[in-house]
Structure formats: C-alpha cells, structure tokens
Amino acid sequence: MKFFCLFLTIFLAACGSSDRTFITLGTGSQTGVYYPVGGAIKQVVEQATDGDLRVSVATSGGSVQNINDVLSGAIAFGIAQADRQYQAYHGLSTWDGEPRENLRFVFSLHPEVVTLIASEASGIRTLGDLRGKRVNIGSPGSGQRGNALDIFSAIDIDPAADIQAESLTVAECAGMLQDGRIDAYFYTVGHPNGSIAEATTGRQRVRFIPVTGMEALIEESPFYTLTEVPVDLYPRALQDGPVPSIGMLTTVVTRAETDEDLVHRVVTAILNDLDTLRQQHPALQGLTLEGMIQGQHAPFHPGALRAFTEAGVDL
C-alpha cells in the first residue's frame, strides 16, 4: 500500500465546491537532478493553480521506468532523457522492434551531460585509458548505461572484454570511487549534482575525462549534441575550466491518452511562471520558452502544443 500513491495516475476528489486533481510525476533517485527538478515543477504547478492541481513527485529508476510507467498509465507524466524518448517512440534499444507510438512530448528542461569522472590514482586521462579499468557503466535500463555503450561503440571498446564493467546504481558510485573499488564512472546528468560533488570532495582526488571524437555518433543519433562539463561547479576537481563531452536534453513525456485539458493546465502553469521555476534549481537557470520545445522526438501532446501556441512560441 505504501507505494500506491506513487503509481496513482489521476484521482479526482471532491473538495468543497471544487474538484481537486491529483497527478504523479515520475522523476529519478533522490541523489540525482530529476527528483529536485520534479519538486520544482510541483511547487510551480500547485502554486499557479491554488492547489487545485496536486502533484506527487515519485522517485524511480529513471528514464526507462518513467517512460514505461507513463505508457502503462501508472503515472501521468515522466521525466526522461531525449535519447530514451527517441528510442521508445521509434522502437530502438530497450524497446527494440516495439515502437511506443502513443508516447507524447510535453516540454524540455535542462541539458544533461554525459559525465565521466575518474580517480587520479587510476591514471585515466582519455577514453582510451579506460581499457582494463574498473568502470561503472550504470544499472541496466539507465540512461547513462545506454550513453556509455554508445560511446564505447564509437571508440571500438568492447565493454564485455576490454574493461571491467560494473552495473552500480548512481547512489553507490561516489563512495566506490573514493574507496578505490572502481576507477571511473559514467553519469548522464544536469549540473550541479550531488553524486559528482561527493566524488570530488573526498580524500581521493578525481578528474573529469573528456568525451571527444563523437562526431560520427552525433551525426547518426539526432538527440546527441556537443556540450561541456561545467567543472567550475566542482572546485575540488583537478581541472580548471569546462571539459568537452556530449549530451542531450531532459524532457517531460506523457501518453496520447492523457486528457488534453489536464496537460494544457500543467504546461500553462509552468509557462506562466518560468521565473519561479528557474530559481528552484541551478540546472533550470537557463530555461527559455524556445529551449523548452527542443528535444522533441515524439509528437507533441495536443494539450502542450496548445499551451505553447497560446504563449506565443513559434512552433
């Protein structure tokens, strides 16, 4: 029963003379960025609607679980990496041969960076130095695992033969790196991030590893783009200045069957108070109306489309 509220999609309850609508937003682990960003969305939506729309922020395994839960109707909205949105809609990767054509795009949030962090003691300075090392590529179904596998494919590294691949959760990684039980780990995330901050502030000195030579990968995968790790946010790291990498946008998705007026109310509430949303988390500071319609790899939900049109966004 304790998990029931996390999987409640929409529940209408009479409250005086008005109906109150309850929705669930799937996020990620409490140590990541999705969870506090979900909390920021909750605050803005509930404040804008005087509590008539109540948002339950659910922890989850991340993008894949959120997409699957949205499509099953277990939750109304989910936060997901743009690459996972693309793969689900087109029937690739986790959804190989089974396109989820009822997946719908709602809006985009902050950029996520494929972040590779390694201990100084490991001697890792480049992607090629990962050979023979103990590297966490992420738990099965996680976004970072898919990104890590894409990168390995691009540089001809076989994770089954060329590295000692681990499948840890994000919550385990910083401690394992500091204890010397892994040499490096991938984490696709918005910055600043608690796990990365923890990894960079321990006794073990660490550095960010450039993710370069990805031009062919970007050309064949429309969700990837060149970006940088903002190292200045982690003053205990060994480098100064940004480190090149690749990344994609964080998106919010729903399914085609979600009520159009509900989606319109949620998106309108957010668009009408972007300033407040930007202030809730550093990852959201660069949020713009134009940026929120990028990262679309499934059809717009009509409720979201109507909200952006009313806001004067050129679609």
* Shared-domain flag, residues 187 and 67: no
pLDDT of 120 higher than 60 = yes
Cβ atoms of 55 and 271 closer than 8 Å: no
The two beta strands, 243-255 and 225-229, are antiparallel
The H or E element that residue 153 is part of is: helix 143-154
What is the tally of structural domains in the chain?
A: 2
252: which residues sit within 8 A by CB, 6+ positions away? 25, 41, 77, 78, 79, 80, 106, 107, 108, 109
Residues 169 and 229 both lie in one domain? yes
Q: What is residue 124's three-state secondary structure? A: coil
pTM of the model: 0.84
Residue 2 has pLDDT above 80, yes or no: no
Last residue of a domain, one of 206, 227, 248: 248
For residue 315, being part of any structural domain is answered with no
CA dist., res. 62 & res. 68, Å (int): 10
Does the pLDDT at position 8 exceed 70?
A: no
Average pLDDT over residues 158-164: 97
Q: What is the CA radius of gyration of the chain?
A: 20
To the nearest 10 degrees (0 to 180), the angle between helices 260-271 and 302-310 is: 40
Domain boundary at 248, 279, 295, which?
248
* Residues 242, 128 within the same domain: yes
**Residue 101: pLDDT above 90?**
yes
Report whether pLDDT(10) > 80: no
Residues 172 and 226 occupy one common structural domain: yes
* Residue linked to tokens 């390995």: 152
**Residue 75 covered by a domain:** yes
Statement to judge: residues 106 and 117 lie in one domain = no
Supply the range of the domain harboring residue 292. 4-110+250-310
Residue-by-residue DSSP string for 26-56: E---TTSSHHHHHHHHHHHHHHHTTTSEEEE
Q: What is the mean pLDDT of residues 231-235?
A: 94
Residues 105 and 254 in one domain: yes
Task: Collapse the DSSP code of 182 into the 3-class scheme (helix H, G, I; strand E, B; otherwise coil) and give the result.
Answer: coil
Kindly report the average pLDDT of the chain as a whole number: 92
